[in-house]
Amino acid sequence: MLWIQQTPEGVIFKAVIQPRASRNEIVGLKGDALKIRLTAPPVEGAANKMCIELLAKTFKVRKSDVEIVRGKSSKSKQILVRSATRKQIESLLESQTSYSFSEK
């Protein structure tokens, strides 16, 4: 099950990034983290920037509302989505992946 934490600022969740993939996509879950594939290489913040862009588009928020709060130089990250609720994040992720939060 995806680890999601509601905070006063927004929602924080775990993600595992696979850089240099063939396409940008949210694949599903890897353990308690969201697995994300990105075409960008993990150099000079390119993968982090692409990750923020993909998540902002997926969650229908501005790029400035998505922040990597832990793991900027790691494949494992914690990501904050400001002004979002846990329910909104779960609903949007269900529409993007085959994972269902209501089953768990």
For the whole prediction, is pTM greater than 0.85?
Answer: yes
The class that CATH gives domain 4-98 is: alpha beta
- Residue 25 CA to residue 38 CA, distance in Å, equals 7
- Report pLDDT for 100: 61
* Local confidence pLDDT in tens for the 104 residues of the chain: 889 999 999 999 999 999 999 999 998 889 999 999 999 999 999 999 999 999 999 899 999 999 999 999 999 999 999 988 889 888 887 877 665 655 44
Is residue 81 within 8 A of residue 6, CB to CB? The reply is no
Q: Which residues contact 56 (CB under 8 A, 6 or more apart)?
A: 62, 63, 65, 66
